[in-house]
Amino acid sequence: MRNLKPRQTEAERALLVEHDPLTGLPNRRLLAKELARAMTAAAAGGRRIAVVALDLDDFARINDAYGHAEGDRAIRIIAERLTGCVRSGDIVARVGGDEFVVVFGDLASSGSAARAVQRMRAALAEHVVIGSTAVGFEASFGISCFPDDGGSAEQLIGFADLAMYRAKRTRRGEFAYFAPALHDAAVERLRLEHELGEAIQNGELVVHYQPIVDARTNRIGGVEALVRWAHPTDGLKAADTFIPLAQETGLIVPLGEFVLREAIGAVAQLHRSGFPELRLAVNVSPRQLHDAAFPTSVLGALAQAGLRTDRLDLEITEAFLTSDAEWAAAQLRELRRLGVRIALDDFGTGSSALNFLGRFPLQILKLDRSFVAEIERSELSRTVAGAITGLARRLGMRTTAAGVETAAARRILGELGCDAFQGSYFAPPMCLEELRDAVAADRLAAAS
């Protein structure tokens, strides 16, 4: 009898090691062991297995709205519903906060896995009262199959994860099958992430500048700073090839700080060279703006370079305004207090863009390129662009049209009341030396 309690304690310890304490489901460790056994049996019997990874969409809102106790209750409900969708011998595991993996054995085809996913989606969607609200749950699913996709448990789980993240990015709330291209893309992404981190440290990033032309004078009134990557083997890479990766990984913070300081220093040089009226526009990411120290950092960069605060425009996106409206308003008010102007980029495409005008201290609306690209052919684009410029004027704001490619587009936008233009019709992005020559030629033309 004296040895019973130690054995019981050891059994409880083993249970905790291999099971999720909240739901009692297998954890990732036990999942891998059970899946390996199922694969061995399936190989011997010529059967198929499907591994389904699922991640709940927007589950954080439950914790934010009702607290972690209600969030834990929701997770237990979800675990029960998933368990109710499987057969004896299948596996349901919780592998993360709101991530689960379900293993279906002995399937006739990959189509059977899709039907199983539909059952799980329907079960999760059934409403339950959480806090004071009846809610249903949505999830994104990824499917990998044995023996088609991998020969080890960890491979199949990882491949299902890759497919799930693809579904979350491209068709949220749906499912995607694993394909070898997903693995190749993941490897390539990891390589680029490593190289981008090194590029920031090794000084491979460069800043180019695209002139912004004043509609009234037709002269260069400012420039937008645009980052490029001078890749040692791939050559000069445009921002859209690496900025999304930087935003997802957090590298956008050191990258953005480099661009801000580099551009401020460059324009300060041009001011000292005889062009003190030149303004600078710099894009800043939500991650940068969520840092409480960001206004201080901006002020420090301006002071170090000797550039006046009222010469700087910071271009922000709707994503920052919608992420935390109260914080965004406070942060933008502080930047305005310093004298910096705030521009809302890509205006007119967001679901609630008009709501921003009265809630946030904005001075410039930058028309989305989609309007500008269609301005010559589409009456709707002209109507929308005209409405935006008119509204901005009544609110005391300025408008800038980006992506102006033709003389006709410039004429139409000018007639609609745009205050400034930017695009290849006027000048492409250029290095600092080219910009200096362009500004000097522009001033010479104005004087002649």
The ranges of the chain with pLDDT < 70 are 1-15, 108-111, 171-173, 181-188, 348-356
Residues 149 and 259 in one domain: no
Residue 383 lies in a domain: yes
Residues 130 and 221 in one domain: no
Residue 91 lies in a domain: yes
Residues 321 and 364 in one domain: yes
Residues 130 and 61 in one domain: yes
pLDDT for position 94: 96
Cα–Cα distance for residue pair 325/297, rounded to 1 Å: 22
pLDDT for position 172: 65
Question: Tell me: the pLDDT tens digits for 107-164?
Answer: 766 568 888 899 999 999 999 998 888 889 999 999 998 988 878 999 899 989 988 9
Burial tier of 338 (Cβ tally within 10 Å: 0-12, 13-18, 19+): middle
Q: Which domain holds residue 360?
A: 189-447
pTM score, two decimals?
0.68
Q: Among residues 145, 178, 211, which one ends one of the domains?
A: 178
CATH of the domain at 281: 3.20.20.450
Q: Among residues 128, 144, 178, which one ends one of the domains?
A: 178
pLDDT for position 191: 75
Residue 320 lies in a domain: yes
Residues 142 and 203 in one domain: no
Residue 184 lies in a domain: no
Residues 164 and 261 in one domain: no
Residues 319 and 361 in one domain: yes
Residue 2 lies in a domain: no
For the four alpha carbons of 86, 91, 94 and 99, in that order, the dihedral sign comes to negative
Cα–Cα distance for residue pair 6/180, rounded to 1 Å: 49
* Token couple for 179: 């394909």
Residues 201 and 97 in one domain: no
Residues 270 and 402 in one domain: yes
Question: Tell me: the pLDDT tens digits for 213-231?
Answer: 999 999 999 999 999 999 8
Residues 331 and 371 in one domain: yes
* Token couple for 281: 């526009």
Residue 355 near residue 328 (C-beta atoms within 8 A): no
List own/partner pairs for 247-252 with CB under 8 A and 24 or more apart: 247/285, 247/287, 249/193, 249/196, 250/287, 251/193, 251/196, 251/197, 251/200, 252/285, 252/287, 252/288
pLDDT for position 112: 81
CATH of the domain at 140: 3.30.70.270
Number of domains, the chain? 2
